[in-house]
A and B are shown apart, each in its own frame.
Chain A
Amino acid sequence: MEFGQYLGLTFAIFVTLAILSFLYKDNPFYRFAEHLVVGVSAGYFVIILWFQGLDDKLFGPLADGDWYFAYLNSSNAEYMIPAILGCLMWTRFSKNYSWVSRWPMAMYIGISAGLAIPLEMSNRVNKQLAAMMVDIKWDQFLGGADMLWLLDINSGLSQVLVLVGTMLAIIYFFFSKAHTGVFGKAATGGIWVLMIGFGASFGFTVMARISLFINRIQDTADWGKTAFDAAETANPNYHSGFQVVFWALVVFVIGYVVWEIMKTLKEPKATAQ
C-alpha cells in the first residue's frame, strides 16, 4: 500500500468514526461527513449517468451527425425523439408548462404498467400457486431416512403444511369479508403463520445489521494493522509516516472524546441527559 492510499484509508476511518459519533449525539463531524457523502454521491451519479447513459445511449449513436444540425444529419437521427421527450421532462419545474412533462411520463408509466401485468401475474401468482399443485408424497409423509424425519423439508407433511399455511395467510389478507366465524378462525391461523415468517425475517435482520458494523470493525482493524505490519505485509512503500498518520488520528479522536467528557461534566446536571 502506498502512503497516499494510507492517507485515503485514514480519512475513511475518520469519516467512519464521525458517523459513529452520532450514536452519542449530533455533532459537526457527523454533519460534515453526511453532507460530504450527499455531494460526492450526486457527483458520482452524474458521471455514471453521463458516460453510461447519455454518452453511450444517445451521443454514441448520434456521433456521425453534427451538433449544429441538431444531429438530424446522423444515420440514427430518430434518437433525437427520445432526447426531446426527455428534455420535455424538465418542464416539470415550470409553473405554466409543467403539463408538457406528463407526455413522456405517460409513455414511461404505460410501458412499465404493460410490462408488469403478464410477468408479475406469471411469476408472483401463477408459478407460486402452481408450486403447491403437486402430488403429496404419501409414501414419504413423515420424511425420509434422515433421523430428524419430522424436520424433512421435502416430506409430504411439509408439503401439506406449506399448502395449508399459505391458504390461511391468503385468507387473512382477504379483507372484503369480515373475519368472523370459520373464516375468522382461518384468518387467525393465517396470522400465526405470518408471525413465524416475520420472526424469521427479524432473526435474519439482526444478523444483517450486525454484519454492517462488523465490516467497519474489520476495516478499522486493517487500518491499524497496516500502520504496524511492515514486516508481515512486506510493504515496500512502508515508512514511519504511516505510524505518524495513525497516531495523529488516534490522538485527535481521544482528545475530542476527552473534551466532550469535560464539557458534559461542566454542564449543570439539569441540562445533562
Chain B
Amino acid sequence: MKRQAPFALVFIFGIFMVIQFFVPHETSENAYEFLLDWIIIIGIFALALGIWSLFKVSTEKIKNRKEASEYSYITLIGLFVMMAFGFTQRTGESWGLYFIWILLCCACIVALMTMRASVDQGKKRMWAIGALVTLVGAIVVAIFDDAWQFYFTDPQGFENTMFRAFFDYVMMPILATMFALLAFFIASAAYRAFRARNVMASLLLLAALLVMSRFNPYLPFAEYVAKASNWLMNVPNLAAQRAIVVGIGLGIVGTALKVILGIERGYMGKG
C-alpha cells in the first residue's frame, strides 16, 4: 500500500496522459482539462512546503543561537513585512497608523524569537511580556485604524505602494546585483582558467572570440566578422546544439517511460 499504490497511480495517470494526446474525443479532452486544473491546485500546496521550511530553519537558528543567527531576524522580518504589505491596502490617501502597526508586528516577532532563544527565565518572561504587549498593540491598531484594512480575497495588496516599493527597491536590486557578481567571476575565470591547452580548447577559444567580437563596429572588416559570427551560430553551433537537444529529448522520453513503468523509483524516497 505504502509503495505499490503510488507506483500504480503513476502508471495509470502516465498512460492516460500519453493515450489522451492521441484521442481527440470530447470525453478525453474534458478529463484532460479536469486533471490540468486539479494538478495546479495540488502543486500549490507543495510549493507552500518551501516557505514553511524557510520559516522553520530561520526560527531554529535563532532558538539554538547558532552563529550569525541575528541575520535570521532580518529574514523573518522581511518575510512577515512583505506578507503584511501584500494583504493590506490603505482605504484613502492617508496611511494613518499603518507604519506603527508594521513596527509593532516586527517588534512582536523579534520578542517572540528572542524569548524562544533565551535561557534565563527572567529574560524569557520579559521578552514574553514584550511580545504580548506589542501583539495587543498591533491588534488594537488593526481594529481601530480605518486608514487601511486587510484584503484576503481581493488582490488589493498588489497595488499597495509599499508592496510595490519593496519589490522595486529591495528585491529587484539585490537579485539583479547578486547575478551581476558573475560578471567579475567570469572575468577572473577568463584570466586564470581559459587556456588554449590543445587543439580543441583552441577551437573553443576561437569560436568564443569570434562571437564576442561580432558587434564591435570598430574592427577592420567588422561587417564580415558579424556575418562570420552569424554563420558560426547558424551552422556549426546549430549542429552541436541540435545533437544536444536530440540527446536531451531521448533522455527525457527514456526517463519518463522508466518512471511510468516503475523502473525508476528514486523519486519516492526511502521506506
Contact B48 A116, beta carbon cutoff 8 Å: no
Which residues in A have their C-beta under 8 angstroms from that of B256? 112-114, 116-117, 120
| A230 adjacent to chain B (CB < 8 Å) | no
Chain A residues with CB under 8 A of B71: 31-32, 34-35
When the two chains form the complex, which single residue of B16, B233, B248 contacts A124, counting CB atoms closer than 8 Å? B248
What 1/0 mask marks residues of chain B from 145 to 189 whose CB sits below 8 Å from any chain A CB? 000000011010110000101111111111111111111111000
> Which of A81-89, A176-184, A233-241, A255-263 interfaces with chain B?
A81-89
Interface residue? B243 (CB, 8 A): yes
Cα distance A82–B151 when bound, in Å? 25
Q: Which residue of A lies closest to B254 (CB)?
A: A117
Q: Is the CB of A110 within 8 A of B246?
A: no
When each residue 107-130 of chain B gets 1 if its CB lies under 8 Å from chain A and 0 otherwise, what string results? Answer: 000000000000000000000000
A91-111 CB contacts (< 8 Å) to partner B: 92-93, 98-99, 102-111
Q: Which 3 residue pairs across A and B have the least CB separation, nearest first? A: A39-B78, A114-B17, A124-B249
B86 near A117: Cβ-Cβ < 8 Å: no
Q: How far is the CA of A107 from the CA of B6 in the complex (A)?
A: 8
The reply to whether B72 and A35 form a contact with Cβ atoms under 8 Å apart is: yes
A121 vs B47: C-alpha distance when bound (angstroms): 28
Specify which chain B residues have a CB less than 8 angstroms from the CB of A110 in the assembled complex.
Answer: 9-14, 17, 259-260
Residues of A near any B CB (own CB < 8 A): 5, 8-9, 11-13, 15-16, 19-20, 22-23, 31-47, 49-55, 57-59, 79, 81-83, 85-87, 89-90, 92-93, 98-99, 102-121, 123-125, 128-129, 131-132, 148, 151-153, 158, 161-166, 168-170, 172-173, 190-207, 209-210, 212-213, 215-216, 219
Query: Once the chains bind, are B45 and A148 in contact (CB under 8 Å)?
Result: no
CA distance A58 to B2 in the complex (A): 28
Whether B24 sits at the interface, judged by CB under 8 Å, is: no
| B227 CB-CB contact with A under 8 Å | yes
Which residues of chain B have C-beta atoms less than 8 A from A39's C-beta? 58, 74-79, 82
Q: Determine whether the beta carbon of B79 is less than 8 Å from that of A198.
A: no
**A113–B259 touching, CB < 8 Å:** yes
Q: Please name all residues of chain A whose beta carbon is closer than 8 Å to the beta carbon of B230 when the two chains form the complex.
A: 151, 153
Taken together as a complex, chains A and B put the C-alpha atoms of A152 and B244 apart, in Å, by 24
**In the bound complex, what is the Cα–Cα distance between A212 and B152 (angstroms)?**
36
Most chain A CB inside 10 Å of its own CB: which residue of B35, B45, B74, B208:
B45
Q: Which chain B residue has the least Cβ–Cβ distance from A99?
A: B2
Residues in B30-88 with C-beta less than 8 Å from chain A = 35, 37-52, 54, 58, 68, 71-72, 74-83, 85-87
The reply to whether the CB of B220 lies closer than 8 angstroms to some CB of chain A is no
Residue from A117, A124, A219 in contact with B173 in the complex, judged by beta carbons closer than 8 Å: A219
Tell me if A86 and B237 are in contact (CB < 8 A). Answer: no
The answer to whether B208 and A166 touch across the interface, beta carbons within 8 angstroms, is no
- Residue in contact with A169 in the complex, picked from B86, B234, B243, CB distance below 8 Å: B243
Q: Which residue of A lies closest to B8 (CB)?
A: A106
Residues of B close to A54: CB separation below 8 A: 41, 44
Q: Is the CB of A203 within 8 A of B176?
A: no
**Assembly CA distance A112 to B10 (angstroms):** 10
Which of A55, A59, A90, A197 has the most chain B CB within a 10 Å cutoff? A197
B136 in the interface, Cβ–Cβ < 8 Å? no
Interface pair B17/A106, CB less than 8 Å apart: no
